[in-house]
């Protein structure tokens, strides 16, 4: 096959080289993990048993059928039994388990996807329609397999066994992306998505190269194709020539060396050249991310996106985590951070993070019942979360952060509910820190234009640039079609950041930025120059940002930042920020 190149939106840097693993939306519903060599035969047996069970089920239906049942029904069952006996279903997935070491569900779905693609290409309508039968029979086998599913145990593979794999999909939801976090994939490619979609954010948190918005990658790339991902340029090379491969292997080695060098900064305090301390905090999705945060010497957690505890659960909104489960998760994060503050954001559900995927009814979910709006509409759910967070505050420094807040009555209702949760805890003799600080996310332009309303009621502010940019520039952050309009350096965005930082300084209210912009080293000096002293970002970005802090001369960059704020032409701003970084 000839080599070809695709261009998309770079969302997570670095170079990945591996074999394509295509994932359809059906395949996303099953677990993916590699099994150890010695477990392969047991896994084969598990799939064979499931197939036998389904055979028996079909036989029972057949024999129990009333004599006068329509003949089509019997014919239908016969077709299903035939499909199940066909080596394409009964044998090939077993070979996949043995050869690729996929778990049974993954092996079956991989083969079914392959068959479905073949059926779709058939001219004959009758044969094309058999695709549905294959899917239905596979669904039956998967159902049985689910009953025998084992807990997910990541396998430690030695180096020789490592299979370098790159996920290729049309789209992946943030919840599905979480499934992949403990696995062995080396990169991600999707047709849809944009820079600040939560799927992109999760990819960044995994610190592996990813390119989204590739349009039709999932139909152009075939299973097992060799691909190179250039996560910095947003370029994907399929079936690369030896020369190209060599170039990227060298770049990969160079990047790894640079990463290793950065690690030396782990223990250095983040202070500017003139000795001003800067807090570099971590954004986390789940408590275990605290390991990565501690590994890079984060000063605390600036944003715990608590909604990830709620996503990807069977039953969606009917199966949200209860108080105890949440409390254990928050306490775990607090304990793992060993005395450093942990800022827990209350549930930010909605838009591209739905509790019940597929049941979206809002006309425009980014402007719908999201985040605090959802929580205030579901007081029982909200109180449960508040109690769980407050209880964790008995184990270390916890701060509460409220997302998407824009109205005074929303702030007042939220504060009243926090008091209510405290009373409930007092009544049940549960410990908590009575002085837990409460902060607001500044992510709606209206909040920036009404800062005194927040400052008078809140202990701290945290700017969510991802949403602030989405709402001020009116671009859906997850929509590939408008991704080119996303620009943190838009003069309007810069003015809003400056206004918030300044208002914080004047009133003595701490202000941080926890949107993705905070983790971009190319903006660090600009933000420092604007007066920002607290940044929160993916752990993987902390050391690169620290390096920028360490060679920042505040007096010098403050003057330059002021100049940038007086500029009105985007190209000039871009140029000035580039020069500022080089200072």
Task: Please tell me the distance from the alpha carbon of residue 382 to that of residue 326, in angstroms, as a whole number.
Answer: 12
Of 132 and 474, the one with the shorter C-beta distance to ligand PEP is: 474
Q: Tokens 């593979």 correspond to what residue?
A: 157
**Total count of residues recorded for the chain:** 583
Q: How many residues bind ligand PEP (CB under 6 A)?
A: 10
Phi, psi of 100 (to 5 degrees): -100, -10
The nearest distance, CB 505 to Mg ion, in angstroms, is 23
Q: Output the smallest distance, CB 278 to ligand PEP, in A.
A: 19
Radius of gyration of the chain (CA): 26
Q: If we measure between CA atoms, which residue out of 431, 110, 447, 176 comes closest to residue 313? A: 176
Output DSSP code: residue 211.
E
375 is catalytic: no
**Nearest Cα to Cα of residue 339 among 292, 387, 294:** 294
Question: Do the beta carbons of residue 464 and residue 514 sit within 8 Å?
Answer: yes
Beta strand pairing call for 437-442 and 398-402: parallel
For residue 185, give the H/E element and its range.
strand 185-190
Print burial letters for 340-367: b (CB count within 10 Å at least 16), e (below 16): bbbbbbbbbbbbbbbbeeeeeeeeebbe
| Residue number, 110 or 173, with CB nearest to ligand PEP | 173
Among 467, 479, 520, 548, binds ligand PEP (CB under 6 A): 467
CB 536 within 8 A of CB 518: yes
Smallest gap from Cβ 413 to Mg ion, in A, equals 20
Pairing of strands 235-238, 460-463: unpaired
Looking at the Cβ atoms of 532 and 577, the one nearer to Mg ion is 532
465 interacts with, out of ligand PEP, Mg ion, none, CB within 5 to 8 A per kind: ligand PEP
Other Cβ atoms within 10 Å of 553 Cβ, number: 14
Specify whether 514 is catalytic: yes
Question: Nearest approach, Cβ of 415 to Mg ion (angstroms)?
Answer: 20
Q: How far is the CB of 244 from ligand PEP (least distance, A)?
A: 35
By CB under 6 A, what part of segment 478-517 binds ligand PEP?
514-515
- Active site residue: 32, 198, 290, 375, which one? 198
Mark residues 427-466: x for contact with ligand PEP by CB under 6 A, - for none. Answer: ----------------x--------------------xxx
Which of residues 186 and 320 has its CB atom nearest to ligand PEP in the complex?
320
Mask for 337-376, x = binds ligand PEP (CB under 6 A) = -----------x----------------------------
Q: Using CB under 6 A, pick the residue from 21, 305, 533, 546 that binds ligand PEP.
A: 305
As measured in angstroms, the least distance from the Cβ of 224 to ligand PEP is: 34
Residue with tokens 């939560």: 198
Evaluate whether 329 touches 309 at the Cβ level (below 8 Å): yes
CB of 354 to ligand PEP, least distance (A): 14
The stretches of 228-378 forming alpha helices (DSSP H) are 242-262, 289-295, 323-336, 371-377
285 binds, among Mg ion, ligand PEP, none (CB under 5 to 8 A by kind): none
Binding interface with Mg ion (CB under 5 A): 443, 464, 467
The label of the residue with tokens 């693609």 reads: 117
Is residue 173 close enough to count as binding ligand PEP by CB under 6 A?
Answer: no
CB 90 within 8 A of CB 83: no
Question: Measured from the CB atom, is 103 or 512 closer to ligand PEP?
Answer: 512
In the list ligand PEP, Mg ion, none, the entry touching 370 (Cβ below 5 to 8 angstroms by class) is: none
- Does 576 help bind ligand PEP (rule: CB under 6 A)? no
Binding at 352: pick from Mg ion, ligand PEP, none (beta carbon under 5-8 Å per type): none
Least distance between ligand PEP and beta carbon 504 (Å):
17
Residue 51 or 203 having the CB closest to ligand PEP:
203
Q: Is 63 helix (H, G, I), strand (E, B) or coil?
A: helix
- Give the active site residue among 21, 290, 375, 514: 514
Residues 6+ apart with CB under 8 A from 31: 103, 105, 106, 149, 152, 179
User: 179 or 465, CB closer to ligand PEP?
Assistant: 465
- DSSP reduced 3-state for 27: helix
**Residue 583 to residues 545, 563, 576: CA-CA distances in angstroms?**
15, 15, 11
Shortest separation between residue 496's beta carbon and Mg ion, angstroms? 14
Is the CB of 18 or the CB of 464 nearer to ligand PEP? 464
State which residue, 54 or 400, has the beta carbon closest to ligand PEP.
400
d(CA 217, CA 121): 18
**Residue 441 structure tokens:** 């996310």
CA separation for the pair 165, 184 (Å, rounded): 7
Active site positions, annotated: 198, 514
For ligand PEP, the binding residues (CB under 6 A) are 303, 305, 348, 443, 464-467, 514-515
């Amino acid at each position: 096959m000839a080599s070809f190149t695709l261009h998309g939106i770079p969302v997570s840097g670095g170079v990945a080289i591996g074999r394509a693993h295509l994932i359809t939306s059906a395949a996303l519903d099953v677990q993916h993990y590699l099994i150890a060599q010695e477990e392969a035969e047991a896994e084969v047996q598990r799939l064979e048993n499931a197939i036998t069970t389904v055979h028996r089920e079909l036989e029972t239906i057949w024999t129990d059928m009333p004599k006068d049942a329509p003949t089509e029904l019997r014919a239908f069952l016969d077709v299903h039994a035939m499909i199940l006996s066909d080596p394409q279903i009964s044998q090939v997935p077993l070979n996949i388990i043995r050869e690729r070491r996929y778990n049974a569900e993954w092996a079956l779905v991989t083969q079914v996807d392959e068959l479905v693609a073949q059926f779709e290409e058939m001219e004959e309508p009758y044969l094309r329609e058999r695709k549905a039968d294959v899917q239905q029979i596979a669904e039956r086998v998967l159902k049985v397999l689910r009953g025998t599913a084992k807990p997910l145990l990541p396998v430690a593979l030695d180096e020789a066994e490592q299979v370098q794999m790159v996920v290729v999909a049309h789209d992946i939801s943030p919840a599905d992306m979480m499934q992949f976090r403990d696995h062995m994939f080396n990169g991600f490619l999707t047709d849809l998505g944009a820079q600040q979609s939560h799927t992109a954010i999760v990819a960044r948190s995994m610190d592996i190269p990813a390119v989204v918005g590739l349009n039709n990658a999932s139909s152009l790339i075939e299973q097992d194709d060799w691909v190179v991902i250039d996560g910095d340029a947003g370029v994907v090379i399929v079936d690369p020539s030896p020369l190209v491969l060599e170039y990227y292997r060298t770049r990969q080695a160079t990047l790894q060396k640079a990463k290793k060098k950065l690690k030396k900064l782990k223990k250095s305090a983040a202070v500017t050249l003139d000795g001003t301390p800067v807090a570099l905090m971590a954004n986390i999705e789940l408590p275990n991310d605290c390991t990565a945060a501690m590994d890079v010497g984060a000063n605390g957690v600036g944003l715990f996106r608590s909604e990830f505890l709620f996503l990807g659960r069977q039953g969606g909104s009917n199966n949200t985590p209860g108080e105890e489960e949440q409390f254990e998760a928050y306490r775990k994060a607090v304990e793992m951070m060993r005395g450093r503050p942990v800022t827990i954001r209350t549930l930010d559900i909605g838009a591209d993070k739905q509790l019940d995927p597929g049941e979206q009814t809002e006309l425009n979910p980014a402007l719908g019942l999201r985040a605090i709006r959802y929580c205030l509409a579901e007081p029982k759910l909200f109180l449960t979360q508040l109690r769980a967070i407050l209880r964790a505050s008995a184990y270390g420094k916890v701060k509460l952060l409220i997302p998407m807040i824009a109205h005074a009555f929303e702030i007042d209702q939220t504060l009243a509910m926090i008091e209510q949760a405290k009373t409930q805890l007092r009544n049940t003799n549960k410990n908590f820190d009575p002085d837990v600080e409460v902060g607001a996310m500044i992510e709606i332009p209206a909040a920036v234009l009404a800062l005194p309303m927040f400052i008078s009621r809140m202990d701290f502010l945290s700017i969510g640039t991802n949403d602030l940019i989405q709402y001020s520039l009116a671009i859906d952050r997850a929509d590939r079609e408008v991704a080119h309009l996303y620009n943190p350096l838009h003069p309007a965005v810069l003015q809003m950041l400056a206004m918030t930082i300044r208002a914080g300084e004047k009133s003595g209210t701490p202000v941080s930025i926890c949107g993705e912009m905070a983790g971009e080293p190319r903006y660090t000096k600009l933000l420092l120059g604007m007066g920002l002293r607290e940044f929160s970002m993916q752990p993987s970005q902390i050391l690169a940002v620290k390096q920028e802090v360490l060679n920042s001369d505040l007096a010098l960059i403050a003057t330059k930042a002021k100049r940038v704020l007086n500029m009105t032409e985007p190209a000039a701003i871009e140029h000035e920020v580039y020069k500022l970084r080089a200072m």
